[in-house]
Amino acid sequence: PQVDRMQQSLHFGGWAGFCATFAVGDRLGADAVRGLFVDASPVAAADSLGGLALEEFVDAVLMAALRVAAAPGGGHAGVPGAAE
């Protein structure tokens, strides 16, 4: 069966909520949250930006984790629910 990719993707609002839950925006800033979403999106033109499929979401999460770890005070400090 055909799968409608756009119905099974995470749009920016969902990505922003995910980042807020794990304090990614607090650690890296709103520009980085937007940049991670766009960098993980396979688009040829900005006007065709849709959502992230599972593989793209995983790529975005990995990029976010690497940037948080490399940021000053990186690691798990300040992340809600992380062991101290």
pLDDT at 73 over 80: no
Q: What is the structure's pLDDT at 69?
A: 81
Is a pLDDT exceeding 60 seen at residue 5? no
Whether residue 3 has pLDDT greater than 50: no
Query: Which tokens go with 41?
Result: 């999106």
Q: What is the pLDDT of residues 9-64, one digit of tens each?
A: 788 888 899 999 988 888 889 999 999 988 888 765 545 567 788 888 888 889 88
DSSP summary character for residue 23: T
Those residues whose C-beta lies under 8 Å from the C-beta of residue 10, and which sit 6 or more positions away, are 18, 51, 52, 57
Tell me: pLDDT of 82 over 70.
no
Cβ-proximal residues to 26 (8 Å cutoff; 6+ apart), any chain: 78
